[in-house]
Structures are given as C-alpha cells and as structure tokens.
Amino acid sequence: MICDVVQRTSSETSEEFAARVGAILANGFASLGIALGHEVGLFNILSDMKEPKSSQEIADAGNFKERYVREWLGAMVTARIVELDSTGEKYFLPPNRSPALTHNGKLSDGVVMSSLIPTFGGNVFGQVKACFKKDGPRGVSFDAYCSSYEVIGRMTENYLENNPIASLLSKYPDLTKRLDKGISVVDIGCGHGITTIELAKAYPNSTFCGVDLVEVSIQDAKDKASGLNLTNVEFLVADDTELPADWTNKFEFAFMFETLHDQAYPDKAISEVYRILAPDGVCLVVEPTSFSKLKDNRDMLEGIHVFYMASLMFCMPTSLYSEGGMGLAQSGVGRKQQS
C-alpha cells in the first residue's frame, strides 16, 4: 500500500512540491486581500466604474485613504485579480470577474467566505493551537467567535439568495402543502435567523420559532424580523439539548440547516427534536455534502479542504469545548453523503 502511494507521488520532485506549497501560501495572502476588498467595498466600487481609474479616483469614490487603496491595488494586480490599463497607471476590474467578487454577485459564495479567514486569526488561532497539546484545553468557547457569526450569517444569506429555501423544500411536496396550509415550525440552531425568516416569508400561514444558543445571533435575528414586520416568527435563546419542557409534541416541522455537525451532543439534540415534534411531525436535516471516508472526500469533492479547515478552526473546537462533546465536525465518525 505504501509503495503504491510512493509510486503515485514520485513524479513530483521536492522542488515542484515546494513550489506548490509556495503557491498555496501566496494564495492565502491573496485571500486576505480579497477579504479586505470585499469588506470595505472596493470590489463594488471597481465594478461600478465604467472605465479605468487612478488609485486616487478609486479612493475618493469610497472616501478612503489613497495610500492604503494603492497598496491594496498593488496586491490585487500582482495576484491577477484587478488589471492595469495600457498606461500602467489606472486600474479596472474585468466585467467577467464581478459576479465572483461583488456583494450581490451570483458567484460570490467564495468572496463572502474569504471574510471568515481573518476572524480565525489572533485570539482564535492561539486558542485552537493550544488545543492540540494533550494537556491543553478541550476546545474553544462559542464566545471567542463573536466576529465570525456575522460572517457566517452573511454566508448563509448569500447561499440562500442563489439557492432559495423554497426550492429545497419543493423536493418534499407533502411538507410544502402543510406549510402552505399552516403549521408550527421550529428552526434549530438558527443563528442569525436567516433560514427562519426566509421560511416565514415563504409560508405566511405557518408560525416559526428560531432557536440558538448564541444570544447576539438571536438578538440580530429579532431585529431583522422586526425590520421586516414579520408577525409569524419569534426567536429564543435556548440550548437545543434542553428545550422548554412545555414544548412536548408542539411542532409539526423541525428544521436543522447545517447545524447538526456543530453540536456537542447531536444525539441529545435529535432526542429533543423527537420530543417536541407532534406524532405526525417531520424533521429535515440539511448538511454539507461529504463522505465518511477521507479518501472519498479527497478524490470526489474539489475544494473540500476549505471545509476541513473551517471545521478545525470553528466547528470541532466549539463542539469539543463541552465536557463529552462528540466533535463530529467535518471528519467525525459516521459522516455520510448528503444532498
């Protein structure tokens, strides 16, 4: 077996591998530049410009300091993301690149995710690093990720803009008929309430309750719902392994959108969902596509390393932080392919 692996990789020299590692690291730095450009709105400014502009003109358009903009442009030009005109003095973003880089771009899932990278730096990086030691902490508290939650909310929002939740539920016509008629729904691990609010807008005859452990996320969800004048949705800070006692048989539909793998105690969470569902209730669990075997993930899922790293930096340490946490995350035992 080892000989087979050696044979497959022997065509790559040490120098070639070093160059590949260098390219990965270089792209990592470019990712920080993409995150900055996304966060401050520079890609949107460049996209809106009809002709190449100087760094000063670009800075003025966003009320930015020219020197910072010029240095950022230098990074983006050398990373071949932004282009120079024939004079070499003015900058432009080719139209075909805008959808992947602008806030409302149809292909912008990646650029939104880039903003997650800086939130894993500093204090979070140090805490995860400490967890590797046998005598180190079990994991990292949810409280360490305050700056990550807003980005995760935007990632969900961006995903649902291009993949409407109604399209997902259309695969289950019996369920959508019940939602149209009017049923009680609980959204477990709702985060900033993006999925809950989308459901509430799509099915006005049903009532929805979003539940999450993180208070700041629930407050943001309440503010969003209030701003939309939605009357069929509410939000509650609660531990989904210990939901209110009077919720037994209360809900006809329980929804868990990309949250089960984050749970410290997914078995207890599912048991609670079973308790609060009515006898004819339905639970729908949506999880990222992956396989139980690492080899299958490597060979069949392009870019899956992104999810492993997000899992290592967030999903797994927050799950393992709790005593006895299972830490399923990306490579937990028993992961199956999901649609």
Is the pLDDT reported for residue 4 higher than 70? no
Q: Both 83 and 173 in a single domain?
A: no
Give the DSSP letter of residue 53.
B
Q: Return d(Cα 93, Cα 51) in angstroms, integer.
A: 9
Instruction: State pLDDT tens for residues 231-257.
Output: 999 999 999 999 999 999 999 999 999
Average pLDDT over residues 54-60: 98
Given 56, 71, 102, the domain boundary residue is 102
Q: Does residue 114 lie in a domain region?
A: no
Residue 139 lies in a domain: no
How many independent structural domains does the chain possess?
2
Task: Show the CA angle centred on residue 47, arms to residues 45 and 50, nearest 5°.
Answer: 100
Residue 337 has pLDDT above 60, yes or no: no
Return the DSSP state at 164.
-
- Tens-place pLDDT, residues 97-142: 999 998 765 667 788 888 888 888 878 999 999 999 999 999 999 8
Q: Which residues contact 44 (CB under 8 A, 6 or more apart)?
A: 102, 103
Q: Give the percent of the chain with pLDDT over 70.
A: 93
Which CATH number goes with the domain that contains 49?
1.10.10.10
Q: Choose the final residue of a domain: 84, 102, 120.
A: 102
Q: Are residues 208 and 336 in the same domain?
A: yes
Question: At which residue do the structure tokens 């729904």 appear?
Answer: 185
Return d(Cα 171, Cα 165) in angstroms, integer. 11
Look at residues 102, 128, 151 and tell me which one is the last residue of a structural domain.
102
Token digits for 60?
């003025």
Computed over every residue of the chain, the mean pLDDT equals 89
Q: How many residues does the chain have?
A: 339
Domain that holds residue 49: 12-102
Kindly report the CATH number assigned to the domain that includes residue 209.
3.40.50.150
Q: Please choose, from the candidates 184, 165, 338, 191, the residue with its C-alpha nearest in 3D space to the C-alpha of residue 254.
A: 184
Residue indicated by tokens 């690291």: 25
Burial 171-204 (b: 16+ CB within 10 A, else e): eeeebeebbeeebbbbbbbbbbbbbbbbbbbebe
